[in-house]
Amino acid sequence: MIFKSPYADVDIPNVSLQHYILSRMVNYGDKPALIDGPSGRTLTYAQLVQMINGLANGLQARGFGKGDVFAVLSPNIPEYPVLFHGVGLAGGITTTMNPLYAVEEIVHQLEDSSARYLITVPPFVENALAAAEQVNSVEEVFVFGEAEGATPVTALFGQSAPEPVEIDPAEDLVVMPYSSGTTGLPKGVMLTHRNMVANIVQLEGIEPVTDQDVIIAVLPMFHIYGMELIINVSLANGATIVTMPRFDMAQFLQLVQDHKVTKAHLVPPILLGLAKHPVVDQFDTTSVRVIVSGAAPLDAALGQAVAERLGCIVKQGYGLTETSPVLMVNPDDKPRDGTVGPAVRGTEFMIVDVDSGEPLGPGQRGELWARGPQ
């Protein structure tokens, strides 16, 4: 038995991820696109578009292009989307890493992805350089800012628009995040331009974001959840993103209050803090309209407790790195506590017997199979 999405199907534009997002970003001009939470440093949409184009142009001038891999070892900062989309616009592939990785973990991903370049932030330069020395494919290490032994990212920026790159959205990769899975070392998940564009389009109307929204980016951008739901969906719809390089409850609440955050993508441990921590009552969180929980199951009682305390919608969804990532999510207007919601547009499911692979019906326990353009 095949379970289909209850929503109308949707046409997926046959364009690259960068074409899809940049063609929408240009409409927002001087509106703030990204704000660094700790410092207040701001990039407008116009500045962001200019920087993405400049980075792509500079990369092409170095011979970096289609199929080349650029590794990112960084916490959440406003320049993260610049690098991500600049690489994609040049025709390259971004592979994202946890900045807290040990040297041997960095080495594994650099080798496995055949990364040509690596970029990091000053606190992690030592590990980045140590790892790069062990990997033949890595030609240069860059840094956001300045640090001894690494080339400043400013050296990458060109002064003009990049040359157009012919992209086959269904075949060409745009990002390769790594997923630990259940066995062995983390494995690269090969996501195409079409996969990423599809999930943005699938969420329209179900997971609404507008240019009036302010999204707080506490979930890591190196993870598919933060990458797609915070970077891509937000920028495609003109929202303002407030970045946090690491989570701190008081700072999180201060940023929510100061920037009048309307939407937060979180994980259950943070929701537990929002439900129980006394510091929450010291801040004005009335601007928050909706909290979306993912990455782990959210207990219905915990979701209800946060919703009551903050006076907002609390809901959850489900997805995988391999599905770009969203398969199911509760809609804002009809969230059901303790569930992950219905399938997003264009997505189908089957429940099958683990041993035989035979389809099962409602109420029967088995393995979940899913298919869709994402």
How does DSSP classify residue 243?
E
Average pLDDT on 303-320 reads 96
Residue 362: pLDDT above 90?
Answer: no
237: which 2 tokens?
């719809």
Contacting residues for 198 by C-beta, under 8 A, at least 6 apart: 12, 324, 346, 372, 373, 374
Convert the pLDDT of each residue in 19-66 to its tens digit. Answer: 999 999 999 999 999 999 999 999 999 999 999 999 999 999 999 999
What band does 183 get if pLDDT is binned at 50, 70 and 90? Answer: confident
Q: Which domains does the chain show, CATH number per domain?
A: 45-192 (3.40.50.980)
Start-end of H helices in the chain? 17-25, 45-61, 79-89, 103-113, 125-132, 193-203, 224, 233-236, 249-259, 268-276, 300-310
Convert the pLDDT of each residue in 212-261 to its tens digit. Answer: 999 999 999 999 999 999 999 999 999 999 999 999 999 999 999 999 99
Task: Say what the pTM is.
Answer: 0.95
Convert the pLDDT of each residue in 80-136 to its tens digit. Answer: 999 999 999 999 999 999 999 999 999 999 999 999 999 999 999 999 999 999 999
Tell me if residue 20 falls in helix, strand or coil.
Answer: helix
How does DSSP classify residue 224?
H
Cα separation, 46 vs 49, in Å, equals 5
**% of the chain beyond a pLDDT of 90:** 91
Residue 181: pLDDT above 70?
Answer: no
290: which 2 tokens?
């909706």
Average pLDDT taken over every residue of the chain: 96
Q: What does the buried/exposed string (b/e) look like for 340-369 if buried means 16 or more CB atoms within 10 Å of the residue's CB?
A: bbbbbbbbebbbbeeeeeeebeeeeebeee
Question: What's the pLDDT score for residue 87?
Answer: 99
Convert the pLDDT of each residue in 330-346 to its tens digit. Answer: 998 888 999 999 999 99
Average pLDDT on 292-320 reads 95
Strand order in the sheet with 367-371: 2-4, 348-352, 367-371
C-alpha torsion sign, points 139, 58, 232, 239: positive
Average pLDDT on 187-198 reads 98
How does DSSP classify residue 127?
H
- Are the CB atoms for 16 and 175 separated by under 8 Å? no
- Are the CB atoms for 256 and 214 separated by under 8 Å? no
Cα separation, 349 vs 219, in Å, equals 28
Phi-psi region of 51 (alpha: psi -120 to 50; beta: other; left: phi over 0): alpha
Convert the pLDDT of each residue in 140-180 to its tens digit. Answer: 999 999 999 999 999 999 988 999 999 999 999 999 999 98
